[in-house]
Structure 1
Amino acid sequence: MAPPVKILVLQFASIGNVVLTTPVVRCLKKQLPNVEVHYCTKDAYRSIIAYNPHIAKSHYLTGSVYTLIRQLRAERFDYVIDLQNNVATNVIKLALGARSYSIERQSVRQWLYVRWKVNALPDQHIVDRYMATVQSLGVENDGRGLDYFIPYKDEVELDWLPLTHQPNFVAYAIGGQSLTRRLPVRRMIELCRKINYPIVLLGDKADRKAGEEIVRAIGGKQIYNACGHFNLNQSASLLQRARVVFSHDTGLMHIAAAFGKKVYSIWGSTTPQFGFYPYKTPHTRLENSGLGCRPCSATGPDNCPMKHFKCMNNLSFDFDVKELRTRKKNFE
């Protein structure tokens, strides 16, 4: 029997970016004969890919890129799929010497959009751009959306939550990669009051202080601050159980999309036009689209360049969460 064709997928950028590459991994594995898919990312994202059944072996950047390259060379890959295409991934591709396929960068178009507000970006989700990278291998998008696999040990039981949040709750991912990608705490409080439903706040330890402020303002009967209490897979399990998900532009938004949840996505300094909105799932975008200063960067700065932060401070909460209105009546 012929040895398997070994393919390495590269993506180091963020939790969200790694989740958004899962359709590529699945389609490579299911559509190519006798293929072995390997994945390389940062050690911090290990839990996202460690339980993916379509990945034969994972490789993690834990120190020097050159130490990682020595490990990867031993695998003798036939192809490298570079879904980031930056300096580090180009060094890895050059060192491995395998035939490679790389996502097309949009740096100039992003600069035009940020600097001059000229949107020449393709009207295309980043997942479809990732899939275009492997099209010449005969791999097509199967349309099944994103994947996220939770090991049994990380599945959160309902009785881990307060009685007030069993069995129905809204998940709100309050974190964000930068300050301008998340609402100020006073506006988070306003949003939670608007939702008016038992809410589980999700985030890491850095988000816990904001969660505590929200609990103090609204009360523990409506708000459960889970920030910092659960690991990433456990937070994903809570997203899977939630009725509806509210999220800033962050990785948990994409994990919620992997479970097909209705997502209310909240946009500040960044915009959905960059192609990172919830994929293949019902979603409503909450954004202040009338501002001429948006976007102020492709990834979001820590401070508003205009000093007014109107994208979040003036964001309207004039919306109706119909899913909660119907279900709340049914479950009363």
Structure 2
Amino acid sequence: MAKQPKHILVIRLSAMGDVAMTVPVLKAFTQQYPEVKITLLTRAFFAPFFRDINNVSFFSIDLKNKHKGVLGLFKLSKELKKLQIDAVADLHNVLRTKILKVFFFGIKFMQINKGRAEKKALVSGQDFKQLETTHERYAAVFKKLGFPIDLSNPTFPDVVELSSSVLAKTGEKNKKWIGIAPFATYKSKMYPLDAMQVVIEGLSKEHTVFLFGGKADKEALQSLAVNAHVINLAGQLSLNEELDIISNLDLMLSMDSGNAHIAAMLGKKVVTIWGVTHPFAGFSPFNQPENYALLADRKQFPLIPTSIYGNTFPEEYEEAAKSISPQKVIDTINTLI
């Protein structure tokens, strides 16, 4: 019988939401198999996601310079082998990791099954059903390495005490705090901004609303900061500080995008708005009840999901999410908090 691995390399290079989805899986793994060491290979930017997980070492990949191209990946494999890794869990399964697999010849190397055929059947309308979630697909890779993971009793980090510099931006908490992340990679996954403005106005009457986005979103988000109870945080925080604030939220409202997964990994309630994509594809945020997902009307837009990532859709579907009324969004959130 083969020896159980003692040191597993876990690979997930991008994107933000996909990396965030590894967090609850790795947390469960380290709690259930504390004797096994994990080294995580991903981009340096994502290191703060793993700050609350014991027994995980972080190894950053430099795809633009040091680890660029096939030769760079060969150098990377040599660096990683020095760590005495005896198994690899590839949670990405792309060309780069396939090349790394060749360089790790002789070491047990398991890769995620992305379920491409089932996803194709889902978006073509042949088979409209719930597929395995990304978290389950990640866990299945560890099971193939001999480590089944139970994801049913998750634990989450404690609420972080905010620093004085962060409190200078947020103010003291004297109302419920709601985070809103209105942007997504594709417009088809977004709630139209005029409808989102109605939601923000409604929620800010009773709660403090924080707007989340990247530096490039700062100006666009400013137009949604409709009053003093709406605070635009875009481009003002480090990732660690952003995580600290999300830790203190009562709820996050997000599209089918990275912020939903970040809030979920911290154990927050997450209400998601879905346009041309659908939770059946397996990208729902972790540990969220079904009714926390607000879906575009499939009677009106029967081809949903038009794609897995929201990158292809008929022209008239671009604002499908608008079929969810602002009042429904407001009422859902107020009921949950």
TM-score range, shorter chain: 0.7 to 0.9
Question: Secondary structure of 2:315's partner?
Answer: coil
Distance 1:152 1:161 in 2: 13
Rate the CA distance shift 1:322–1:264 in 2: closer, same or farther, 3 A. Answer: closer
Q: In the alignment, is the contact (CA less than 8 A) between 1:254 and 1:279 conserved in 2?
A: yes
Paired position in structure 1 for 2:183? 175
Deviation at 1:29, TM superposition (A): 2.9
Q: Pick from 102, 120, 126: which aligns with 1:118?
A: 126
Deviation at 1:296, TM superposition (A): 2.3
Q: In the alignment, is the contact (CA less than 8 A) between 1:236 and 1:252 conserved in 2?
A: no
Q: In the alignment, is the contact (CA less than 8 A) between 1:48 and 1:148 conserved in 2?
A: no
Deviation at 1:253, TM superposition (A): 0.8
Deviation at 1:82, TM superposition (A): 1.0
What 5-or-longer segments of structure 2 have no aligned partner? none
Rate the CA distance shift 1:89–1:156 in 2: closer, same or farther, 3 A. Answer: farther
Paired position in structure 2 for 1:226? 233
Rate the CA distance shift 1:274–1:61 in 2: closer, same or farther, 3 A. Answer: farther
Deviation at 1:80, TM superposition (A): 0.3
Deviation at 1:9, TM superposition (A): 0.4
1:214 to 2:220 alignment:
no
1:235 to 2:236 alignment:
no
Kindly tell me the number of residue pairs found equivalent between the two proteins.
Answer: 320
Deviation at 1:238, TM superposition (A): 1.6
Deviation at 1:148, TM superposition (A): 6.5
Distance 1:169 1:153 in 2: 14
Rate the CA distance shift 1:232–1:177 in 2: closer, same or farther, 3 A. Answer: farther
Rate the CA distance shift 1:122–1:130 in 2: closer, same or farther, 3 A. Answer: farther
Paired position in structure 1 for 2:304? 294
Question: Secondary structure of 1:56's partner?
Answer: strand
Deviation at 1:48, TM superposition (A): 2.1
Rate the CA distance shift 1:119–1:188 in 2: closer, same or farther, 3 A. Answer: same
Rate the CA distance shift 1:94–1:151 in 2: closer, same or farther, 3 A. Answer: farther
What CA deviation, in whole Å up to 9, does each residue of 1:237-264 have, x standing for no partner? 2222122211111121112112322221
The 5 A counterparts of 1:117-266 are 117-119=125-127, 123-136=131-144, 137-145=146-154, 157-162=166-171, 166-195=174-203, 196=205, 197-215=207-225, 218-219=226-227, 221-266=228-273
Distance 1:233 1:96 in 2: 33
Rate the CA distance shift 1:120–1:11 in 2: closer, same or farther, 3 A. Answer: farther
What CA deviation, in whole Å up to 9, does each residue of 1:114-139 have, x standing for no partner? 2x222366543221221122124133
Rate the CA distance shift 1:103–1:154 in 2: closer, same or farther, 3 A. Answer: farther
Q: If the length of structure 2 is used for normalisation, what is the TM-score?
A: 0.83
What 5-or-longer segments of structure 1 have no aligned partner? 328-332
Distance 1:281 1:326 in 2: 12
Q: If the length of structure 1 is used for normalisation, what is the TM-score?
A: 0.84
Deviation at 1:92, TM superposition (A): 1.1
Paired position in structure 1 for 2:314? 305
How high is the sequence identity, in percent, across the aligned residues? Answer: 21
Paired position in structure 2 for 1:277? 284
Deviation at 1:190, TM superposition (A): 2.0
Rate the CA distance shift 1:326–1:183 in 2: closer, same or farther, 3 A. Answer: closer
